[in-house]
Amino acid sequence: MEFPEELKYSKEHVWVRVEKGYAVIGITDFAQEELGLVSGVELPEEGDEVEQDDSIGSIEARKTVAELYAPFSGTVRDVNHEVLDNPGLVNDDPYDGGWLVEISLSDQDELKGLMSADDYIDYVENRD
């Protein structure tokens, strides 16, 4: 499994790549592996307002349906339409082609609760 060091991570297994005033999010390599083959993705609409820790969509796999939680508050700038058409991109390329949503940040301070790659690896390795 890979966990790029330039990304931030949430306890809900979402990665965050901070850009200028917005962030791109997706699910981690660990999450896609735990889910198994992703067969469907439901995402918010562009322009939707999202609140930190609220469900903003779901990911359907053979094993389960998992909720996707916003790691911060903001406005949806873009969604990955390719993933909607080809959900397997989440499995094949979770950090690039399998990104899910781009959100404008409402409050930069909400990013402080995210983990570094090393902290996320520790979190995954020490989960119950």
- pLDDT tens, residue by residue, 9-53: 999 999 999 988 899 999 999 999 999 999 999 999 999 999 999
What is the model's pTM? 0.93
Q: What are 1's strand-pairing partners?
A: none
Task: Establish how many alpha carbons lie within 13 A of residue 36's alpha carbon, considering only the half-sphere containing its beta carbon.
Answer: 7
**41 within 8 A of 87, measured Cβ to Cβ:** yes
Mean local confidence (pLDDT), 79-93: 95
What is the DSSP-derived secondary structure letter of residue 70?
A: -
User: Cα(13)–Cα(59) distance, rounded to whole angstroms?
Assistant: 12
> Residue 75 in contact with residue 104, Cβ under 8 Å?
yes
Which amino acid belongs to residue 70?
A
Q: What is the CATH number of domain 8-108?
A: 2.40.50.100
**What residues form DSSP beta bridges with 105?**
74
Residue 1, pLDDT > 90, answer no
The yes-or-no verdict on residue 63 having pLDDT over 80 is: no
Give the span between the Cα atoms of 35 and 49, in whole angstroms: 27
Closest by CA to 117, choosing from 95, 87, 89, is 95
d(CA 14, CA 27): 4
Q: pLDDT value at position 33?
A: 92
Cα–Cα distance, 18 to 38 (Å, whole number): 25
Which residues fall within 8 angstroms of residue 51, CB to CB, at 6 or more apart? Answer: 70, 73
